[in-house]
Amino acid sequence: MAKRGNEFEGEVALVTGASRGIGRAIALDLASRGAWVAGTATSEEGKVAVVTALGEIDALGMAVELDLAKPATFEEQLDLVAESADAPVSILINNAGINRDTIALRMSDEQWDEVIDVNLTGTFKLTRRVLRPMLKARRGQVVTIGSYVGGHGEFGQTNYSASKGGLEGMTKSLAKELGSKGLRFNVVAPGLVDTDMTRALPPEIIQQMLDIIPIGRALTPQEVADKVRETLLDASLNGQVVPIDGGLTDGMTE
C-alpha cells in the first residue's frame, strides 16, 4: 500500500485489535494518510503482525500489547505511545472485541461477563483514559466500531448485542458531554464483514444473512476502513451511529 495522502498528518492514532481484519485495514489506511499509528494486539504474535504490516508501507508507528480485559495496564501503555510518538493520542479507534455466541438459556455467567467486560467496560475505560489529553488540547476524536446487532439484536448474540448497544449509548453520552469542548465521538456500525470472526460462523447462518443483504455479499474490511476515514473527516458528525451494512438492517424482517 503506497502513501495515499496526508489528511491525518500530525495525528497520533491508537487502533485496537490492529493485527488483522477490520482493525488492520483501519490502521494501514490511517498510516498511509500520514497518521502516526499505534496498533494494539493481545499477543506477541499479534504485535509482530502489526509491526510487519506498518513496515511494509514504511509507516510511522508501533505495536502495543494491550488487552481490554486488563485496564490496569492502560495508563502504562498509553504513556509509552505518547512517549514514542512525542504526542498523546488524538484519534482513538475502538475496534477490538470478542464474541461468545450461544442462545441466552445456555449462556453462562462467564460468557456474558467476558464479552461485556471486554467489549463494553474495557472500551469505556480505555476511552476515558485518552480524554484528558484531548481535553487539554481541545481536539480529538473517538470512533468506535459497533455492529448492526447493537440496534437490532441477533439470535444467539444476547451478550454481544448488549455490548454493542451499550457502546452506542456510551458514544452518544460522551458526544453530549464533550462535544462543546472540541471532541467528537461516533460509531461506525458494520453489518456482515468478511473477517476471521464471521468465517467461523456456521455456513447456514452466513447464508441466512446473505439472503437478506440487498447487495448480496459481505463487506470487506477496507470498506469499513473507508467509512471510518469518512467519519473522521466529516466535522459535522458527533454522537452519530453511521451504518455500513449493504442494506442489511433495511432488509431484515421480523
pLDDT digits (tens, 9 = 90+) for 170-223: 999 999 999 999 999 999 999 989 998 788 777 887 888 888 889 989 899 999
pTM of the model: 0.94
User: Quick one: pLDDT at residue 58?
Assistant: 95
Helix (H, G, I), strand (E, B) or coil at 211: helix
Query: Residue 254: in which H helix or E strand, if any?
Result: none
| Average pLDDT over every residue of 237-245 | 96
Q: What residue ranges in 107-206 does DSSP mark as E strands?
A: 140-145, 183-190
User: Quick one: pLDDT at residue 144?
Assistant: 98
- How many whole angstroms separate alpha carbon 69 and alpha carbon 53? 25
- How many whole angstroms separate alpha carbon 191 and alpha carbon 227? 13
CA distances from 204 to 78, 150, 251 (A): 42, 22, 18
Question: If pLDDT is split at 50, 70 and 90, which confidence band does 5 have?
Answer: confident
| Average pLDDT over every residue of 32-58 | 97
More confident residue, 127 or 246: 127
CA 196, 199, 200: angle at the middle one, nearest 5?
90
The cell for 148 is: 448492526
* Residues 47-76: b if buried by 16+ CB within 10 A, e if exposed: bebbbebbeeeebebbbbebbbeebeebee
Find the catalytic residue in 160, 162, 185, 243.
160
DSSP assigned state of 55? H
The backbone torsions φ and ψ at residue 2, rounded to the nearest 5 degrees and listed phi first, read -80, 165
At a CB cut-off of 8 Å and minimum separation 6, what does 68 contact? 16, 96, 97, 117, 118, 119, 122, 123, 126
pLDDT at 159 over 90: yes
User: Quick one: pLDDT at residue 250?
Assistant: 60
| Average pLDDT over every residue of 225-243 | 98
Active site annotation includes 160: yes
Domains recognised in the chain with CATH numbers? 12-193+221-244 (3.40.50.720)
pLDDT at 1 over 60: no
| Average pLDDT over every residue of 74-89 | 98
